[in-house]
Structure 1
Amino acid sequence: MSIALEVQNTNTYEDFILEKDIMYFRVGEHGLVSFHGKNYHVKKRLNTEQIQTMTSNSFFFKVNTDCYVNTRKIQNIQDGKVYFEVRGAESKFTSITKLRQHRLKELVQQQKAE
């Protein structure tokens, strides 16, 4: 009976693979990181070393002061926004500074060519 309880208490949203499941994440105060997936977002408190490892990951690109996008999940970059799904009412997006928008477009095109 205790095994069944353990299985029920496991949250699949908290057991994600950063590069595969996360579209973007935001780093907040005191190590609180908000991860955004396709149908969910999860907040976790991480230590400085964990945050440093994530922010230096080559899959993620810094789009503004606290937000990093998964370059492999981007569908479109337009009008200061990075889109992760088909544009429309249900699309997920985050804002990007004009300065970084051009660099991100180049990076995404380079990855698609590889």
Structure 2
Amino acid sequence: MNVALELEVKNTYEDFILEKDIMYFRVGEHGLVSFHGKNYHVKKRLNTEEIQNITSDSSFFKVNTDSYVNTRKIQHIGDGKVFFEVRGSESKYTSITKLRQHKLKEIVLQQKADA
């Protein structure tokens, strides 16, 4: 009985769902992508096609040259930063260029209006 229960446990590090589990990701050199979740980050090597698929996903917005944020996980945008989940000293955040900050605010407001 215990064996069957152990098989059903999801391995967050290997089997995460991009839109649901990931707050933001960064694309590095040679296909190395760093995925950042609520309490972890995972680095995976992806091929060119896989990188094109995730960077063109409508759930993610390009905030600078190599970083993409999950627009559905954003809590606050300001001072050149995008904050996720909890605010304060425990906040997860990534930086955003001033040029893209305005556009991202519009997208987030539109999503909240649609919800």
Structure 1 and Structure 2 fold alike (TM over 0.5): yes
TM superposition outliers: structure 1 runs of 4+ over 6 Å: none
> How many residues are aligned here?
109
Unaligned runs of 5+ in 1: none
Question: What is the one-letter code of the residue matched to 2:52?
Answer: Q
What's the counterpart of residue 75 of structure 1? 75
- Cα separation, 2, equivalents of 1:76 and 1:16: 24
Q: How far apart are residue 14 of structure 1 and its match?
A: 1.5
How far apart are 1:35 and its partner, in Å?
0.1
1:64-103 equivalent positions in 2, closer than 5 A: 64-103=64-103
Identity %: 83
- Higher strand proportion (structure 1 or 2): 2
Q: Which residue of 2 aligns with 1:27?
A: 27
How far apart in 2 are the matches of 1:42 and 1:86?
20
Q: Superposed, which structure 2 residues align to 1:1-114 within 5 Å? A: 11-114=11-114
Deviation at 1:12, TM superposition (A): 2.8
The CA deviation string for residues 71-98 of structure 1, in whole angstroms up to 9 with x for no partner, is 0000000100000022211100000000
- TM-score, length-scaled by structure 1: 0.90
Where 1:88 maps in the other structure, the secondary structure is: coil
The one-letter amino acid of 1:24's match is Y
- Offset at residue 60 of structure 1 (A): 0.1
Rounded Cα–Cα distance in structure 2 between residues aligned with 1:103 and 1:12:
31
Question: CA RMSD of the aligned region, Å?
Answer: 1.6
Structure 2 regions of 5+ residues with no counterpart? none
